[in-house]
């Protein structure tokens, strides 16, 4: 019996170990719910924050990630980067929860999650790509809209959303109907509806326009549920989790670290920092030695590079290009005279470095047309920074630097030199009435000799030949006035 008891004990131990390994972590504790906020402008800083958060938390098979949405959108490239991170997470792991609005790029991010829930009185939609022009916001063309529609179609297929309605968030030229047949309900655009054969049209029970031509699909929470996008409308995350059947859970809110907040703040000031940095370098180039202007320029451009490096848009290549540009300017200042090839090449190199550090590509991909638009925007931003930096340096040289001496503190002479003068005649020991001779031809100025002294002198207007006897008739300041001795 003892061997049997030993075998039974071993069986229980092995069985317990198998249960401990195979049982989910939630069986021994609360379900972890990680909440990641999407608030404010969608930019590279937000994309970097998302990458860190998803990599750290969403890969745990026992957790659920909730994306808390409140944004009007932002950069398309940053939104697509976030979408790539989200779609790499297994389905049923990520839920979008719209707390106020998910507009434009925010709608793209919200629909990339496997499930959508919206708070009461919230909005989602309107993802048309726009560009700012002199007349205001202007919608970009079909070249940009087409790949965005394809992205929305892919997300709709992945997560079970109505594909045609998802596309209607991007293009205003689409007209979408809800067509009800006896056995089904379909969403059709105007082209597909017109292609229906007469027999199919006769079966139609009703047709309702969901998206009119010239409009973009934007839904409130009630419409999002009716149209098959949102699962439910709730007031809180807790209410949403309860509707999902989750009761024993722990909500953990992920916040940006101070460094990520700092990076996003610096990113919003990138153009101003570029302007100040370029202007400071030019002022340093025009000033003797190396001082505060050079230090300021390097710090400002360094902050821009550091920001872009942390969000993944710049690496050591861009840093090397910037350093080469600064070295070329140094060669122009300290080695070569004037301002020529080295200086122009240095400025161009710095401009290329700044341009490349603002984007994650070198040459735009034709399949991603927004990259070309982004590159043109970045190029304009760099050129405007150069132009404004030049104007700023002219202003500093004209109005600021000349006034610095007036407010500076230092040792100054208190006595005025207004009445001071030097009397050469007195210092040389001559006076009115002394006689001598003209040492040179006085016409009317020249040299005279009085005793053993040879002095500068001038006549009262007459010309006096060399060797002619002369007499000092007047001394005025350092001028000795002579006349012919009678």
| pLDDT, position 315 | 78
Closest CA to 50 of 109, 107, 111, 119: 109
- Last-in-domain residue among 353, 370, 402: 402
Q: Answer yes or no: do 138 and 239 share one domain.
A: yes
Among 256, 284, 306, the domain-final residue is 256
Residue 282, C-beta contacts closer than 8 angstroms, at least 6 positions apart: 389, 390, 393
Place of tokens 């699962």: 231
- So what's the pLDDT on residue 218? 93
Q: Is residue 1 part of a domain?
A: no
What torsion do the CA atoms of 186, 187, 192, 194 make, to the nearest 10 degrees?
80
Task: Give a yes or no: residue 170 inside a domain.
Answer: no
Range of the domain at 451: 424-484
Q: Does a structural domain hold residue 223?
A: yes
pLDDT the model gives residue 8:
40
Q: How many domains are contained in the chain?
A: 3
In a domain, 210, yes or no: no
Q: Is residue 473 part of a domain?
A: yes
Q: What is the CATH number of the domain that holds 440?
A: 2.40.50.140
pLDDT at 332: 73
Residues 121 and 239 in one domain: yes
Residue 311 belongs to some domain of the structure: yes
pTM: 0.64
How many whole angstroms separate alpha carbon 471 and alpha carbon 486?
Answer: 9
CATH number at residue 250: 3.90.226.10
Q: Are residues 436 and 365 in the same domain?
A: no
Q: Residue 415: its pLDDT value, please?
A: 54
- pLDDT by residue for the chain (486 residues), tens digit each? 444 444 444 443 344 434 333 334 344 468 889 999 988 889 888 888 888 888 887 767 778 999 999 999 888 888 998 998 888 887 778 999 999 999 999 999 999 998 999 999 999 998 887 766 656 666 777 777 888 888 999 999 999 999 999 999 998 888 999 999 988 899 999 888 989 998 898 899 999 999 998 889 999 999 999 999 999 999 999 999 999 998 889 999 988 777 777 777 887 788 888 888 888 877 776 665 567 887 888 888 888 888 888 777 777 888 898 889 888 877 776 776 555 688 788 888 988 888 888 887 788 777 777 677 778 888 888 888 888 888 888 887 777 766 655 544 555 455 555 555 545 555 667 888 888 888 888 877 888 888 888 888 888 778 788 888 888 888 877 788 888 887
Cβ atoms within 10 Å, residue 395: 11
- The answer to whether residue 155 is domain-embedded is no
For the chain, first and last CA: distance in Å? Answer: 160
pLDDT of residue 69: 93
For residue 365, CA distances in Å to 159, 360, 362 come to 28, 11, 9
Q: Are 290 and 332 found together in one domain?
A: yes
Please state, as a whole number, how many other Cβ atoms lie within 10 Å of the Cβ of residue 382.
Answer: 20
Tell me: do 245 and 388 sit in the same domain.
no
């Amino acid at each position: 019996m003892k061997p049997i008891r030993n075998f039974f004990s071993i069986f229980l131990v092995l069985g317990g170990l198998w249960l401990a390994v195979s049982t989910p972590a939630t069986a021994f504790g609360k379900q972890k719910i990680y909440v990641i906020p999407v608030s404010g402008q969608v930019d590279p800083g937000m994309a970097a924050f998302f990458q860190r958060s998803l990599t750290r938390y969403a890969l745990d098979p026992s957790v659920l990630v909730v994306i808390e949405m409140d944004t009007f959108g932002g950069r398309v490239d940053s939104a697509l980067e976030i979408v790539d991170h989200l779609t790499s997470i297994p389905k049923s792991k990520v839920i979008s929860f719209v707390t106020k609005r998910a507009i434009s790029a925010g709608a793209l991010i919200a629909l990339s999650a496997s499930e959508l829930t919206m708070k009461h009185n919230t909005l989602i939609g309107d993802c048309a790509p726009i560009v700012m022009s002199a007349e205001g916001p202007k919608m970009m063309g079909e070249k940009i809209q087409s790949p965005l529609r394809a992205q929305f179609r892919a997300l709709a297929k992945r997560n079970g959303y109505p594909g045609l309605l998802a596309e209607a968030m991007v293009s205003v030229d689409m007209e979408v109907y809800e067509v009800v047949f006896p056995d089904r309900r379909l969403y059709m655009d105007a082209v597909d509806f017109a292609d229906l054969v007469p027999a199919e049209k006769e079966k139609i029970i009703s047709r309702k326009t969901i998206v009119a031509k010239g409009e973009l699909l934007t839904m409130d929470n009630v419409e999002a549920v009716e149209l098959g996008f949102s699962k439910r409308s709730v007031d809180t995350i807790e209410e949403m989790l309860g509707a999902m059947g989750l009761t024993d859970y722990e909500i953990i809110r992920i916040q940006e670290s101070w460094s990520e907040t700092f990076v996003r703040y610096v990113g919003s000031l990138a153009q101003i920092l570029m302007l100040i940095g370029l202007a400071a370098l030019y002022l340093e180039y025009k000033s003797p030695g190396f001082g505060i202007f050079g230090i300021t320029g390097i710090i400002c451009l360094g902050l821009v590079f550091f920001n872009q490096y942390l969000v993944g848009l710049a690496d050591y290549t861009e840093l090397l290009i910037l350093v080469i540009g600064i070295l070329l300017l140094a060669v122009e200042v300290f080695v070569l005279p004037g301002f020529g090839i080295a200086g122009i090449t240095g400025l161009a190199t710095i401009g290329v470095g700044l341009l490349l550090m603002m984007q994650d590509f070198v040459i735009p991909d034709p399949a991603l047309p927004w990259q070309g638009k982004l590159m043109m925007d970045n190029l304009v931003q760099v050129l405007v920074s150069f132009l404004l930096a030049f104007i700023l340096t002219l202003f500093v040289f004209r109005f600021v630097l000349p006034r610095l001496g007036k407010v500076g503190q230092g040792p100054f002479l208190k006595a005025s030199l207004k009445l001071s003068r030097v009397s050469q005649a007195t210092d040389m020991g001559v006076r009115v009435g002394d006689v001598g001779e003209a040492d040179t031809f006085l016409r009317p100025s020249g040299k005279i000799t009085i005793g053993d002294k040879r002095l500068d002198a001038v006549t009262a207007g007459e010309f006096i030949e060399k060797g002619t006897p002369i007499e000092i008739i007047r001394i005025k300041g350092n001028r000795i006035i002579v006349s012919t001795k009678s």
